[in-house]
Structure 1
Amino acid sequence: MNEQTLDWIRLQKALSVEAERGYIDIMGNQYRFSEFICLSLGKPPKNISTGDKIQWHDVAQKFANYSNLSSSQRKQLVIGTRNFLHKQKVLTETPSTPPNPKTPRTAALNSSQAKTYFKQEISLDMPLSKVIDIGRRSNYLERLGLYTVRDLLFYYPRDHLDYARQVQITHLEAGETVTVIGTVKSCKCFSSPKNKNLTIFELVLTDPTGRLKLNRFLMGARFGNPGSQARYRNQYPVGSIVAASGLVKQNKYGITLDKPEIEVLDGAGASIESIKIGRVLPVYALTEGVPADTVRKSVVAALPAAKYLADPLPRELRNQYGLVKLKNAIACIHYPENWEELTHARRRLVFDEFFYLQLGFLQRRQELKQKQKGASFAPEGKIIESFNNILPFTLTNAQQRVVNEIFGDLGKADTPMNRLVQGDVGSGKTIVAVYAILAAIQSGYQAAFMAPTEVLAEQHYRKLVEWFNLLHLPVELLTGSTKTAKRRDIHSQLANGELPLLIGTHALIQDPVQFHKLGLAVIDEQHRFGVQQRARLLGKGKSPHVLTMTATPIPRTLALTLHGDLDVSQIDELPPGRQPIKTMMKKGKADRKKVYDLIRREIAQGRQAYIIFPLVEESEKLDLKAATEEHKRLSESIFPEFQIALLHGRMSSAEKDAALNSFRDNKCQIIVSTTVIEVGVDVPNATVMVIEHADRFGLSQLHQLRGRVGRGSSSSFCFLMSSSKNVEARQRLAVLEESQDGFFISEADMRFRGPGAVLGTRQSGLPDFALASLVEDQEVLTLAREAAEKIIAADKMLDNSPSLKQELEIRYRRLMGGDILN
């Protein structure tokens, strides 16, 4: 690898470390971060355009002023520079079309082995025990669930070590994986004077730039006998040329390679024959008792069968999206010649994982369209016209766009709507749902509006009953707390068609609830309901239209992966007049005193405050002790002059109602609560949100909690209380300080914690990807979705593509673990 390529890696590594440390201009071995970047950017590559050279020098100049920038400015500069360098590297080093990858080099095998392997004809479905030079090793592979050659070929490495990078000794840097080629200066093998069972092997290499000492520590009596030690010394004679690969480490004696792989070469410039040294080395997921070399050697033995892999993707599609052939991708994901081949191989296999998932989603949608016939609702009529006249505000552009999308769905007689509406806190999702409900009612149908909690269901009822009274339309609320007599009355009105809209919780899906003519089901915070619960609600009607909503925005990649068979709308604009919430991290006694003083000032002006406590770490149980004890302390010692309510999930419905109503009516000025108030509580008079142990929460949840304030016309505050010294925890909280965009925050949350943690542990529903990353491979997912849509548009049930249809059945079932989402 040339020096210029090494510069790219060092630059990106330095930028990455600076971001991890919180943009503090870290001090390296010789230079500060900003000084190193300035020096490194001093000479731009020769083969870039004049405009890019100007930008290159401009970036270098900005880093010269790095120490004078604010934290957020430093962050923007580092992120921008990483993107700029990545684009420049692609432009200068990556060809416009993928290369024609070669089968992994057979120099990894010696000539006698090669003859043995290629004399045997290997088929994809051959048992591994029948493959020469795997034989008994198949017992190990069976522990990994691998039984045939095909199984082994599709057992992708979990990582790769870049031993292909040959680096001179003077340029070694800790943390890099490299290969060094040098001359043996000395070789020693001796027993440790302190431990007779420990043998120390010591090899000293030199090259024109420096000297490197390598050590191996061999435990066991068999290594201690003189004959064994002599064999080690004779293996690496002084003056011989060797290649050594490993992870560069810095210890108290200097730079070395950790657990190096070493091979003696025939001479200077000779080829490296090892399957581990001087190449991009695959690293496989293993289980106890399965040696890594066993898997590697078995893969090498199985690779000749890759040529028999049929490629289900049409050639036109591969060419359009720049994808290498499947057989080449499989060969190069295991043993690529270089990092570029690995990149193209991985891109093709990641594309496949996303493509078949999206193809499965879209085909399921086609199947539902064939089975279900929905009712057509007219978007125009007297009821909606009357509603437009009484509405005291104008819809935002985003709200109007989503309403139009919904009306377009409702107007299709042959296909029931199945749409998810994502909207940030306070973006106005409810009003969008009301338009859909009114379209159903004026077309002679009933609507159901289901929410996951009584608090949220009551919140929706309070809003809708005001509008529906003006429209002279009845609406009722049904929850677990509804009295028996009232419940019977609701059941009766619903069954005979007198009641056009019923709002409620899980009570809506109980057997006694019978709709006369259910045409629309609205499900709020739909991710909190199970698949069967949603299905039972839909079963109350005959193919009703479905509108699901969430106030917890998730990144588009997650939406496509979880809800690929839904149409997704985003309300990405807040209504005018919403005040930005001043968000600040706080820690220590001095900060806490200032927060308490601000609460007093706000209450003196008639405002109110929340104080929130998290769940117990690694548990789904509420931290009642902390909340109740803090409620007592605040009431008695901190704010004895104020009324303070307590709210948590284990209170009865009546107790919850009493606490919330007291807070809504301003009979108490502070409410101490667990996360039960995350959604559904709307008190415009509340202006202060204090979140204790904020580092325990995910960013999206913190954003939801923050959204409980800032709902009125007064300035609002959110204080993130955290004493954590963890750098990543502080960086996560800094995202809340800098942004109030829920979609941006959810994206950052996914990058910090991963998609599974963002969705929650109980019901993530994520497919089981072998290679694909929802964080790193978003662009490939978008392309795969586009390709799947083109395929389905041309061949709805894949009747004209039997190989694609067969592959889909295998892949989709494997990705989804046999489950069906939504």
Structure 2
Amino acid sequence: MSIAMIDTERATSLYNILRQERERGFDDRAVIGGLDAFLQRFSGDLVAYVGSSGRYAEMSAEERSDWATRVVRRMRDAGVSVRSGSAPASPAPGNVLPRAEKQAPRRKSAPRKPPAPRRPLELSDDVTLMKGVWQKLLPRLHKLDVNTVGDLVHLFPSRHNDFTSVRTVSQLTPGDNQTAILTVWEARQTMLGRQKSTQAVLGDDTGNIRATWFNNPWVANQIKHGVQVVLSGKVNVFRGNLVFEAPEYEILDDRDNLVHTGRLVPVYPSTQGLSQRVLRSLVKRALDATIDRVDEFLPADLLHRTGLIGLVNAMRQIHYPDDWDAEKAAKRRLAFDEFFLLQTSVIRRRNDWREENRGIPISVDNGVIESFLGSLPFDLTGAQNRSLQEVLSDLRSDRAMSRLLQGDVGSGKTVVAAAAMLGVVRDGKQAALMAPTEILAEQHFLTICGLLSGAGYDPTGGYIQRLDVEGIERKVVVALLLGAHRKRIRDDLRSLMSAGMIDIVIGTHALIQEGVDIPNLALAVVDEQHRFGVQQRQTLREKGERPHLLAMSATPIPRSLSLTVYGDLDVSVIDEMPPGRQTTRTRFIENDRRDSAYAFIRKEIREGRQAFVVCPLIEESEVIQTKAAQEEYARLSEEIYPEYSVGLLHGRMSLNEKEDVMDSFKEREIDVLVSTPVVEVGIDVPNATVMLIDGAERFGLSQLHQFRGRVGRGEYRGHCLLLSESPGAEALRRLKLLEHISDGFRLAEEDLKLRG
């Protein structure tokens, strides 16, 4: 078979594929594997017709239609048959690419009805109804949670590129983002290395400049000789000449309607296989089609009083701002909307709770509470007393309590919760405390048992403690329920709870599992409440009949945000530290002074103290996190502190292994404890005075503040050392805040300012 015949056969096959593509709406499914695979396989035979116009899969339906029309026209100009047989064909009237070959009808058919006019797009319409959304694009849009046209409108940009600086060629300078309006003198496809690319020469009255688009040969087909285009991007120097490298480009039809260039251009969150150019075009199309259907829900007088712009204007300006002031005004309006809707939601939830949930009033015996407080080896602070009275007042009410007890690390929240649980137990009811981790649950179990029974508490009694409590005639039974318990222990505890024989149960998520019944539950305490979902807290409440809820948090939140975030809760704040508690000194130490940090720890150990070393945070994998801790443990024990006892604690240990390590640390058998971030909360070792945090820039301010709260809990001052290899400017500012601010609430306010 001759080469000419092969060429003709390939061209005829391509024509038939393109005809089917038109019939299918250009969905790239007329040939198995997609049209690009067919073109690549027979590129040598078809290059004269298809050129190098880019990947078919990445074109919109409209671009595919235009491209197919050009290809068929080139075939006809070359005298190639464009019928599915071998005979030459004359051009079909009308469309260059006909929809189908005409065949003699077997019978007369009814005339086709004209297509119904397309209705305007709605925000609720499926995104597939939009022009330019083809099948292969859908999975990528779904990864961005884009399912409807409205989702595209609400896909706000993460930032904007400033392409507003329009300059002439003579004014362009290397390194900056710049925009130029130029005429195309030449644009051609070329090979740069092994990549098909586009090179163009463009100019204006002041000079010429070269532009290069690597691995984008189809650009040459878009920008033709003599066309005016807008280029935006960085200008570099190559062999002494200025060059636009991979700039955004737009053919200049309407300077006031530019999308990719010549303005503040949005940069959206994206995903692999979805270019900014395609995403930007889709969002602009959705915005133009539906923006007038966005309803303003704030009254005019509120907008006037607050100086906010209208919602429609804000939606336009957040995507395509006229200038930076307009972008700031749009962000302010949309941020206001988020807070406003969040606050109205939590207030509605709070009102619903008050109306629908009548609580069980607790007859709190003041004498028992006073006896308990009198048995403690310390006096409550004024803030603790105030918070306790607020909690007890709620317990006495017939409205179910929903209160947050917020206090800094070491401020004494646990003793307030213990007093409240004791008041419930004295009235013949049950109480439960749920903690986010087993280590923290066990710590609470030991602490609460010690508080209730005083100096006579013997911690060797296992998971069930029967305590003598001042002011209560009978034994108070306190139990610890963990998922790590053996099945027999869990079953025994569940039976005792369901029989009402356990007064206070402390545990983790195991408390809310099926089969756990706490029939007389009157008070549910949730520690570190932000780590639990709303549904988890609600499940705990459902273990009893309308129990009171006390949530505790040691994570400071700015006072300016507390009403919005905790609008559905009454808030009690313990804003005093116990007398005599010294503030922990915090220092930032650069990585090249790591030896001085190790020397300081050695000095503290010689004086009889102990230290924590927290390994860098590795969010991707707990396995990798554990391995890093094991390697650091080996290095410190063998190279840095071979003369001292070094221990290891990580999240993949069994509960018994963790207990053994913590017991050894408390008994001063371990001098340096290497740990993953599991020590953030719940560890109380009064003799520990140093907290060294490696890779401190990887943690949030709140976490770092929690870490340093683990030391200096005894008679000696605590020290927190922040090690960091190469923190950026913003991370360094955050770490420096910890050096100067010890109050968690003030720290949270400053953190909020840094975040803008």
TM range (shorter): 0.5 to 0.7
Please give the residue correspondences for 1:676-687 in structure 2 after superposition, counting only pairs within 5 Å.
Answer: 676-687=678-689
Q: Which amino acid aligns with 2:621?
A: S
* CA shift in 2, pair 1:303/1:405, >3 Å: farther
Q: Tell me if structure 2 keeps the 8 A contact 1:614–1:692.
A: yes
1:476 to 475, 478, 485: 478
Using the alignment, how far apart are the partners of 1:448 and 1:725 within structure 2? 43
Equivalence for 1:124: 122
Asked which structure has the greater CA Rg, the reply is 2
* CA shift in 2, pair 1:420/1:165, >3 Å: farther
| 1:621 and 2:623 aligned | yes
Equivalence for 1:431: 415
Equivalence for 2:542: 539
Q: Which amino acid aligns with 2:520?
A: K
Q: Which moved more, 1:353-362 or 1:281-290?
A: 281-290
Equivalence for 2:604: 602
Q: Which moved more, 1:458-467 or 1:418-427?
A: 458-467
Q: Tell me if structure 2 keeps the 8 A contact 1:377–1:411.
A: yes
Q: Which has the higher contact order (CA 8 A, sep 6+)?
A: 1
Using the alignment, how far apart are the partners of 2:426 and 2:510 within structure 1? 25
Q: Tell me if structure 1 keeps the 8 A contact 2:318–2:330.
A: yes
Please give the residue correspondences for 1:241-320 in structure 2 after superposition, counting only pairs within 5 Å.
Answer: 244=230, 246-251=232-237, 253=240, 259=247, 261=249, 274=258, 276-284=260-268, 288=273, 292=277, 296=281, 299=284, 303=288, 306-320=291-305
Using the alignment, how far apart are the partners of 1:281 and 1:496 within structure 2? 66
* CA shift in 2, pair 1:296/1:477, >3 Å: same
Please give the residue correspondences for 1:172-571 in structure 2 after superposition, counting only pairs within 5 Å.
Answer: 177-179=177-179, 200-205=199-204, 213=209, 215-217=211-213, 232=225, 234-235=226-227, 244=230, 246-251=232-237, 253=240, 259=247, 261=249, 274=258, 276-284=260-268, 288=273, 292=277, 296=281, 299=284, 303=288, 306-377=291-362, 381-407=366-392, 409-414=394-399, 416-469=400-453, 471-473=470-472, 474-480=476-482, 500-509=503-512, 514-515=517-518, 517-529=520-532, 533-554=536-557, 565-571=568-574
Secondary structure at the aligned position of 1:621 is classed as: helix
- 5+ unaligned residues in a row in structure 2: which ranges? 1-116, 454-468
Using the alignment, how far apart are the partners of 2:357 and 2:440 within structure 1? 31
Please give the residue correspondences for 1:46-85 in structure 2 after superposition, counting only pairs within 5 Å.
Answer: none
Displacement of 1:520 in angstroms is 0.7
* CA shift in 2, pair 1:611/1:169, >3 Å: same
Identity among equivalent positions (%) equals: 39
Q: Tell me if structure 1 keeps the 8 A contact 2:614–2:674.
A: yes
TM-score, normalising length: structure 2: 0.66
Q: Tell me if structure 1 keeps the 8 A contact 2:163–2:179.
A: yes
Using the alignment, how far apart are the partners of 2:376 and 2:690 within structure 1? 30
Using the alignment, how far apart are the partners of 2:498 and 2:443 within structure 1? 25
Q: Tell me if structure 2 keeps the 8 A contact 1:214–1:260.
A: no
Using the alignment, how far apart are the partners of 1:601 and 1:291 within structure 2? 56
Secondary structure at the aligned position of 2:622 is classed as: coil
* CA shift in 2, pair 1:735/1:611, >3 Å: same
Q: Tell me if structure 1 keeps the 8 A contact 2:418–2:452.
A: no
Q: Which amino acid aligns with 1:247?
A: G
Displacement of 1:426 in angstroms is 1.2
> Which deviations, in whole Å up to 9, do the C-alpha atoms of 1:761-797 show, x marking residues without a partner?
xxxxxxxxxxxxxx54xxxxxxxxxxxxxxxxxxxxx
Displacement of 1:542 in angstroms is 0.7
Displacement of 1:206 in angstroms is 6.2
Displacement of 1:680 in angstroms is 1.7
Using the alignment, how far apart are the partners of 2:542 and 2:409 within structure 1? 30
* CA shift in 2, pair 1:224/1:563, >3 Å: closer
Q: Tell me if structure 1 keeps the 8 A contact 2:192–2:214.
A: no
Displacement of 1:478 in angstroms is 1.9
The alignment yields a C-alpha RMSD, in angstroms, of 4.8
1:580 to 583, 607, 615: 583
Please give the residue correspondences for 1:128-139 in structure 2 after superposition, counting only pairs within 5 Å.
Answer: none
> Which deviations, in whole Å up to 9, do the C-alpha atoms of 1:30-71 show, x marking residues without a partner?
xxxxxxxxxxxxxxxxxxxxxxxxxxxxxxxxxxxxxxxxxx
Equivalence for 1:820: none
Q: Which amino acid aligns with 2:297?
A: P
Equivalence for 1:70: none
Using the alignment, how far apart are the partners of 1:585 and 1:478 within structure 2? 39
2:716 to 699, 709, 714: 714
* CA shift in 2, pair 1:484/1:175, >3 Å: same
> Which deviations, in whole Å up to 9, do the C-alpha atoms of 1:317-346 show, x marking residues without a partner?
434433333333344444454444444344
Displacement of 1:685 in angstroms is 1.3
Using the alignment, how far apart are the partners of 1:587 and 1:343 within structure 2? 36
Using the alignment, how far apart are the partners of 1:434 and 1:703 within structure 2? 24
Q: Tell me if structure 1 keeps the 8 A contact 2:189–2:197.
A: yes
Q: Which amino acid aligns with 2:232?
A: G
* CA shift in 2, pair 1:553/1:128, >3 Å: closer
Equivalence for 2:112: none
Secondary structure at the aligned position of 2:623 is classed as: coil
Using the alignment, how far apart are the partners of 1:224 and 1:164 within structure 2? 25
Q: Which amino acid aligns with 1:124?
A: E
> Which deviations, in whole Å up to 9, do the C-alpha atoms of 1:498-527 show, x marking residues without a partner?
654333444544667544522111122234
Please give the residue correspondences for 1:749-760 in structure 2 after superposition, counting only pairs within 5 Å.
Answer: none
Displacement of 1:476 in angstroms is 1.4
Q: Tell me if structure 1 keeps the 8 A contact 2:498–2:519.
A: yes
Q: Which moved more, 1:145-154 or 1:618-627?
A: 145-154
Using the alignment, how far apart are the partners of 1:662 and 1:128 within structure 2? 61
Using the alignment, how far apart are the partners of 2:646 and 2:252 within structure 1? 77
- 5+ unaligned residues in a row in structure 1: which ranges? 1-118, 237-242, 753-774, 777-822
Displacement of 1:638 in angstroms is 4.8
Q: Tell me if structure 2 keeps the 8 A contact 1:175–1:247.
A: no
Using the alignment, how far apart are the partners of 1:661 and 1:453 within structure 2? 17
Q: Tell me if structure 2 keeps the 8 A contact 1:478–1:503.
A: yes
Q: Tell me if structure 2 keeps the 8 A contact 1:615–1:622.
A: no
Q: Which moved more, 1:676-685 or 1:533-542?
A: 533-542
Equivalence for 2:742: 740
Q: Which moved more, 1:340-349 or 1:284-293?
A: 284-293
Displacement of 1:700 in angstroms is 3.3
| 1:704 and 2:706 aligned | yes
Q: Tell me if structure 2 keeps the 8 A contact 1:326–1:348.
A: yes
